[in-house]
């Protein structure tokens, strides 16, 4: 049984087996939650991202995929970096956003993780409407078989927290 929980706050302050990063395909850092994770996690995370790029991700990590690295100085065992989908009004990209949650959980299972903290992927720079992103996140976790015991959504602001809370009601 997987329990979904909600926390209001900064994901870099969480203690969990896995902290998920809403990365971009370069894996070389960015703003938002990505910048915060690299700032607090220290240089070891970026070094491992660089090695992954050089070894097997020459063109970057595709949208909806996930890779794991060390968590550096974060209070976690791994960071899983996943590339959210940029919102499009013209094209339904929901399955790509759902894939971020599915692939992150699949990787967490491979690693033997029991607790996984997710941010609200794609709801910042990638402009996904919050309610729809929350629905996709919660439905996907609910419908993905996993041995992860706790999926914790860590929401940075009231708007995100309330959107996820409505989905869990």
**Structure letter (DSSP) for residue 114:** S
Which member of 79, 98, 120, 134 binds ligand ADP (CB under 6 A)? 120
Respond yes or no: is residue 132 known to be catalytic: no
Bridge partners, residue 6, by sequence: 153
Q: What's the min distance (Å) between Cβ of 48 and ligand ADP?
A: 20
Say if CB 144 and CB 105 are below 8 A apart: yes
- x/- site string to ligand ADP, residues 131 to 160, per CB under 6 A? -----------------------x-xx--x
Which member of 65, 115, 123, 140 binds ligand ADP (CB under 6 A)? 123
Total binding residues for ligand ADP by CB under 6 A? 21
Catalytic residue among 17, 34, 132, 158: 34
Angle between helices 130-143 and 158-168 (to 10 degrees): 40
Say if CB 67 and CB 52 are below 8 A apart: yes
Say if CB 10 and CB 35 are below 8 A apart: no
- Looking at residues 58 to 117 of the shown chain, list those that interact with ligand ADP (rule: CB under 6 A): 84
Please count the residues of the chain.
Answer: 169
User: Where along the sequence are the contacts to ligand ADP (CB under 6 A)?
Assistant: 10-12, 22, 32-34, 36, 84, 119-126, 154, 156-157, 160
């Amino acid at each position: 049984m997987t329990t979904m929980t909600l926390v209001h706050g900064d994901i870099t302050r969480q203690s969990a087996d896995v902290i998920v990063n809403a990365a971009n395909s370069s894996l070389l850092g960015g703003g938002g939650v990505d910048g915060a994770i690299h700032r607090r996690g220290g240089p070891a995370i970026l070094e491992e991202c660089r090695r992954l790029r050089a070894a097997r991700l020459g063109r970057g990590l595709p949208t909806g995929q996930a890779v794991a690295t060390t968590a550096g100085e974060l209070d976690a065992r791994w960071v899983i970096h996943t590339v959210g989908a940029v919102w499009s009004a013209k094209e339904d990209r929901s399955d790509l956003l759902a894939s971020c949650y599915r692939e992150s959980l699949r990787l967490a299972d491979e690693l033997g993780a029991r607790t996984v903290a997710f941010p609200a992927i794609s709801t910042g720079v990638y402009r996904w409407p919050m309610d729809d992103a929350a629905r996709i996140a919660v439905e996907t976790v609910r419908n993905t078989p996993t041995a992860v015991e706790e999926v914790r959504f860590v929401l940075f602001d009231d708007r995100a927290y309330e959107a996820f809370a409505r989905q869990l009601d």
